[in-house]
Amino acid sequence: MRVPGKDYYAVLGVKRGASEKEMRQAYRRLARKLHPDVNPGDKAAEERFKEINAAYEVLSDADKRRKYDLYGDQWQYADQIEEARRQGGQQWSRRSGPSGGFQQFDLGDLGDLGELFGGMFGGGRARSRRGEDVQHAAEVTLDEAFHGTTRVLQLQTDEPCATCGGSGRLVGAVCHVCQGAGLFRRPKRLEVKIPAGVGDGSRVRVAGEGRPGRDGRRGDLYLVISVRPHGRFQRKGDDLHTEVEVPLLDALLGGEVEVPTLKGKALLKIPSPTQNGRVFRLAGLGMPKLGGSGQGDLFVRVKVLLPAELSPQERELLEKLKTMQKVGPKA
């Protein structure tokens, strides 16, 4: 709860440098005096009671108190103000409040902050603050990256307490439901679809599954993908590279060999003769293109396979071939 234009220290009757103990004692003394049960039907006492609760809620929290000391009754927008300063490089000017020590701020040098923050500085509607995005790592196999897959995540989400609205406090006391925490951590099971074509560093966005913001709107969850190395295929962008063994005679005389792909087997025609290390391109047999149409290519390197041993007849035929190559064609 915010009390515009009020000096929270003056509301509690303490100095700006008051210790936590001094503020607690002042608050308890005033709360006992102004509590509605003690002053039934007294509207003025009821309003004062609300004021001291609002003041104590801010000043009893170290982070809120720091922001209040810097920005006065605009402390709730400290993060937005500081971000605006970082982006625009504007300067703030201070002037003393009516009581002397209380600091207020001149917003004139910040430009049209009314347009930036809505009604935060008067008029219009304040712009809400969205929650933070969250990243979660996920490893997939190359086959999963080729076909697409899903991952089931077991998350812990922070839900604002419905009783106190996430503030952690009720009037005059700590919230009895969340015990002052303001949030409840709940387990959540989330199934995320990972599209075909993802690669190392791909980010899969799941809208509204990040951390809650001040107005309850959540940021997004991003699944950051890493692809496990494959035993047969090497990926380069959307293309795949592999190697296939070709028997010596097929390399010499021509033939066909089976080539494994990520969606079955393909036949590769080997022309005569084919040198060891030659690379063939099989169009459209690479990875699906993420967020687009079509696929990359598969590049196949030939590894000529020599026989482990030769029979006498094979040796005799090869010797004749060797002799024929030495003699060469007749003129």
CA distance 67 to 61: 10
- Helical packing angle, 20-34 and 43-59, nearest 10°: 160
What is residue 150's predicted lDDT score, i.e. its pLDDT?
95
Residue 82 DSSP SS3: helix
Radius of gyration of the chain (CA): 37
| Whole-structure pTM value | 0.55
Residue pair 217/131 in contact by the 8 Å Cβ criterion: yes
Give the residue from 305, 303, 242 showing the smallest Cα distance to 278.
303
Instruction: Kindly state the tokens that stand for 102.
Output: 């209380």
The identity of residue 83, as a single letter, is: E
Residue with tokens 């936590």: 20
Per-10-residue mean pLDDT of the chain, 331 residues long, equals 65 88 87 81 84 85 85 74 56 41 42 42 50 89 96 80 72 72 77 94 91 77 94 95 95 94 95 96 95 91 90 85 72 49
CA distance 181 to 160: 9
Domains of the chain (ranges; CATH) run 8-121 (1.10.287.110), 134-227 (2.60.260.20), 234-326 (2.60.260.20)
∠ CA 156-162-165, rounded to 5°:
100
CA distances from 296 to 195, 239, 283 (A): 16, 5, 7
